[in-house]
Amino acid sequence: MFIFLDTETTGTEEKDRICQLAYKTETGAIVNELFKPPLPISIDSMCVHHITNEMVAGKPIFKGSNAHQKLVDLFKDDQNILVAHDAKFDVDMLEKEGVHPKRVVCTLKLARHMDPEGKIPKYNLQYLRYFLGIKIEANAHDALGDILVLEKLFERLFAKMSKGIGPGAVENKMMDISSKPVLSSRMIFGKHKGVLFREIPRDYLQWLSGQDDLDEDLRFTVGYYLKK
């Protein structure tokens, strides 16, 4: 069973924790709750998801809540597959709380993998929503709204990948792609933002390779083009 999940958090650093979680199963069950995190929500994060410290002050702590136990139980079943956009972030947040998904599909990695020519300028969830013309009523940067968009995006990717292979093989292929670094078509920041990697000057790639804050896909991509 696929479980579509999204978290909103106090921030994006190692110390940060979940303040909202939503997930939807293939059976239609939906959980969407706010939680009181063990540290304050940062102003930068409030500007994204609009969840304030006052909104979570009276909410339960995630670990030990009913929603937490349900997730723990769901992921004890090895047949269940977590689906998330930029899944590493959500998995890292869940693992801090003792929730350990074993099988994971990342729609961000899949979107990058299935666009080798770089026809899509950006791969964040809401950009893909409008670029691909996904018709759905959902609030952006809200955990529930994001999983509704996520589910529709996943359906598109699954259908495209299913051509010529059976459903079970598609799931395995999706999980395999999601477990490895994926080539990025375009640079996502800096003076070459939006430029195809194959067109970026080599000296810039060499400089970029020395930076410590690259995600695994970007570091893999820089290394790949430096070897060409």
100 and 143 belong to one structural domain: yes
Q: What is the pTM of this model?
A: 0.92
113 and 215 belong to one structural domain: no
Number of domains into which the chain is organized: 2
Residue pLDDT, tens place only, 138-173:
777 788 889 999 999 999 999 999 987 876 799 999
Residue pLDDT, tens place only, 203-222:
999 999 999 888 999 999 99
Q: What is the pLDDT of residue 29?
A: 82
Q: What is the pLDDT of residue 157?
A: 95
In terms of DSSP bridges, do strands 18-25 and 30-34 run parallel, antiparallel, or are they unpaired? antiparallel
Question: Is 20 in contact with 145 (CB distance < 8 Å)?
Answer: no
Mean pLDDT of the chain: 93
108 and 192 belong to one structural domain: no
Residue pLDDT, tens place only, 87-130:
999 999 999 999 999 999 999 999 999 999 999 999 999 999 99
Q: What is the pLDDT of residue 167?
A: 66
Q: Is the pLDDT of residue 176 over 70?
A: yes
Q: What is the pLDDT of residue 112?
A: 95
188 and 166 belong to one structural domain: no
Tokens coding 96 = 């801090």
198 and 154 belong to one structural domain: no
